[in-house]
Structure 1
Amino acid sequence: MAEVQEDDAGEPAQRTMTPFDDIYDQADPRAFFRELGAFGYRTPHHAQRIFRRLAALRLRAPGEVVLDLCCSYGINAALLNHELTLDDLYAHYTSPRAVAMTAEELAEHDRSFFRARRRRDAVPVIGLDIAPNAIAYARAVGLIDDGFAENLETTPPTRDLLDAARSIRLITITGGASFLSRATFQPLLDSARTLPWVAAFVLRTGSYAPIAEHLAGHGLTTETYAGRTFVQRRFTGAAEQQYAIDAVTAHGQDPDGKESAGHFHTALHLARPSADVSTPPLDELVAR
């Protein structure tokens, strides 16, 4: 639940984001797309072309994989490896046909749906999320090659996850960064045979500095793309907007024209070994 306090008029004043907790661990993604779609959730759309470019740069040998952190129902994997847009997924999961199906019928349908749209340059993706139902769905319909329903913030990783982490070349994040710390990154980076790049779209309401500092201890230099920020979604109301404006301001950022205009915004952070920082430059990765 969102933490609330009363304002000077005695009305509840929201102090955090509106929770959508009930949509993240269902048997299928329909509620996710219905609820977040109502507020124009866009982050995977912004990430799609950038993650494709990064995967093409990083995955060069058989067995190398992308790890999608906080992967949910495999949405980033769907956009990375299939001829689909985020709008296509919204249309698919909110269509009358999909709404009328049982979860089992939808999963069977989705196996064919994604298979028919698989890109020829598809890359292996493994997923990590604390939601077992979401992981099970992503695996069942073929969006991820392997998935782990584990919370590394509270529990050490399983041996199977550590074994899978050996092949990680790229880590992607489009949500949930505020819940992550060194506890999640440490075992993954320690297990990887080759130091992976880390690409994260992070809400401006929080600070990515603690994670960037931890990555630096592993030899990864984090750059923040300065060319623009990326719309995440519309606010659910005035209280959530005020929370975002206050939080962004507290972190030394200017909300004018962004949060003040009605949307959460994210920033893109890319961590690479110092020798790789200009190969290619971040501006080129994002802009071209």
Structure 2
Amino acid sequence: MAAGAPHPSAGSDWGKADFEAIYDCPDPRMYFRTLRPLDYQIPHHGQGVFRALTESLQRRRRTGRPPLQVVDLCCSYGVNAALLNHKLNLADLYDRYTDAQETGGLPPARLADEDRAFFDELRRPEAVRTIGIDAARHAVAYAERVGLLDAGFAENLEAAEPTARLRQVLAGTDLITVTGGVGYISATTFRRLLSCTPTAPWIAALVLRTVSYAPVAALLAEAGLVTEQLPARTFRQRRFADLAERRAAFCALQARGLDTTGKESDGFYHADLYLSRPAADVAALPLERLLP
């Protein structure tokens, strides 16, 4: 799921702790209450990256084109969409959904109504059209109901081809984002997405270092996209939940030949940023200028 949340059908068979119970609730309160003690922060990093990319894409657009469209993979409760399109940060969301007095006692339907007004008031003038895809139908329904997603699709593209409605919506995609879902979703999902986009979009992925992005990058190369990795910088995802999770992560990193010094040795999962774009865009705007 976006915001680093794993695909609910994937389980935890590659060493990560199992938080499946929090990913498909009627609202995001349990999600934020569970992840706050682990200092879950990858959506915060995604916010800065994705805003920079959408601003760059907006500057390139000709007058009269449809609004910029961002598709968030593994979107969960619309966390990435909230941070991209609204004047708030991740700490604001933690405060809202873990505050027993403000939201703790509200029924899910009442919370959703109040959330819609809350997000409407904070919407940025430069907000983009956001589409969310996730197998967790309750989470997607929440994000749609409160207005974080212009359209949400509870579809598992690892298991099935996109529906006709999703194919139609995907045709106008400018940017695909994902924070932490790679490893639960594979090149299969990206192949099915690209089959729906006449013009290849930019793809920005924050990928845990325990997972290889090479199969996805190879697929994207076949579609004419050049994948670059942001050099000399990784992004914290969250603290390890327990010693077993830490050990599994270190084993995976050792198998990949990666040094944990100054990264996972600090007690956190770390993610790399990959950006895939057409070769002409890479030549026109180097990554170090796009994301200094």
* TM tier relative to shorter chain: over 0.9
Q: Secondary structure at the match of 1:135?
A: helix
Give the conservation status (yes or no) of the 8 Å contact 1:162–1:187.
Answer: no
- Match of residue 93 from structure 1: 97
Deviation at 1:49, TM superposition (A): 1.4
Q: Secondary structure at the match of 1:222?
A: strand
Structure 2 residue runs of 5 or longer lacking an equivalent are 1-10
Give the conservation status (yes or no) of the 8 Å contact 2:144–2:152.
Answer: yes
Does residue 254 of structure 2 align to residue 249 of structure 1?
Answer: yes
Output one character per residue of 1:65-111: Cα deviation in whole Å (capped at 9) or x when no partner.
10000011000000000000001110011112211111011100100
Once residues 124 and 94 of structure 1 are traced to their aligned partners in structure 2, the CA distance between those partners, rounded to angstroms, is 28
Give the conservation status (yes or no) of the 8 Å contact 1:37–1:90.
Answer: yes
Number of residue pairs the alignment of both structures matches = 276
Does residue 278 of structure 2 align to residue 273 of structure 1?
Answer: yes
Does residue 33 of structure 2 align to residue 30 of structure 1?
Answer: no
Does residue 194 of structure 2 align to residue 195 of structure 1?
Answer: no
**TM-score, with length taken from structure 2:** 0.91
Q: Secondary structure at the match of 1:212?
A: helix
Give the conservation status (yes or no) of the 8 Å contact 2:67–2:128.
Answer: no
Once residues 184 and 2 of structure 1 are traced to their aligned partners in structure 2, the CA distance between those partners, rounded to angstroms, is 19
Output one character per residue of 1:10-64: Cα deviation in whole Å (capped at 9) or x when no partner.
xxxxx60101000000000011111111100011100111101111222433144
Structure 1 moving runs of 4+ over 4 Å: none
Output one character per residue of 1:130-156: Cα deviation in whole Å (capped at 9) or x when no partner.
100010000000001001000111111
- Match of residue 139 from structure 1: 144
- Match of residue 102 from structure 1: 107
Once residues 255 and 20 of structure 2 are traced to their aligned partners in structure 1, the CA distance between those partners, rounded to angstroms, is 26
Give 1:60-79 correspondences, 5 Å limit.
60=61, 61-79=65-83
Q: Secondary structure at the match of 2:231?
A: coil
* Amino acid of the structure 1 residue aligned with 2:144: R
Deviation at 1:2, TM superposition (A): 4.4
Once residues 242 and 73 of structure 2 are traced to their aligned partners in structure 1, the CA distance between those partners, rounded to angstroms, is 28
- Match of residue 153 from structure 2: 148
Q: Secondary structure at the match of 2:215?
A: helix
Identity percentage of aligned residues: 49
Does residue 166 of structure 2 align to residue 161 of structure 1?
Answer: yes
Give 1:161-180 correspondences, 5 Å limit.
161-180=166-185
Give the conservation status (yes or no) of the 8 Å contact 1:241–1:260.
Answer: no
Give the conservation status (yes or no) of the 8 Å contact 1:171–1:199.
Answer: yes
Deviation at 1:273, TM superposition (A): 0.8
Give 1:232-247 correspondences, 5 Å limit.
232-247=237-252
Q: Secondary structure at the match of 1:178?
A: coil
* Amino acid of the structure 2 residue aligned with 1:30: R
Greater RCO (Cα-Cα under 8 Å, separation 6 or more): 2
Q: Secondary structure at the match of 1:68?
A: strand
Greater shift after overlay, 71-80 or 50-59?
Answer: 50-59
- Match of residue 12 from structure 1: none
Deviation at 1:115, TM superposition (A): 0.3
Equivalent residue in structure 1 for 2:127, among 116, 122, 128? 122
Once residues 89 and 285 of structure 1 are traced to their aligned partners in structure 2, the CA distance between those partners, rounded to angstroms, is 28
* Amino acid of the structure 2 residue aligned with 1:24: Y
Q: Secondary structure at the match of 1:266?
A: strand
Output one character per residue of 1:203-249: Cα deviation in whole Å (capped at 9) or x when no partner.
00110000000000100011011121000001112211111111112
RMSD value over aligned CA atoms?
Answer: 1.3
Output one character per residue of 1:160-197: Cα deviation in whole Å (capped at 9) or x when no partner.
00000100010000021112223211232122132100
Once residues 187 and 155 of structure 1 are traced to their aligned partners in structure 2, the CA distance between those partners, rounded to angstroms, is 9
Once residues 83 and 63 of structure 1 are traced to their aligned partners in structure 2, the CA distance between those partners, rounded to angstroms, is 19
Once residues 99 and 141 of structure 1 are traced to their aligned partners in structure 2, the CA distance between those partners, rounded to angstroms, is 17
Greater shift after overlay, 247-256 or 215-224?
Answer: 247-256
- Match of residue 7 from structure 2: none
**TM-score, with length taken from structure 1:** 0.93
Give the conservation status (yes or no) of the 8 Å contact 1:227–1:283.
Answer: no
Does residue 204 of structure 2 align to residue 205 of structure 1?
Answer: no
* Amino acid of the structure 2 residue aligned with 1:39: L
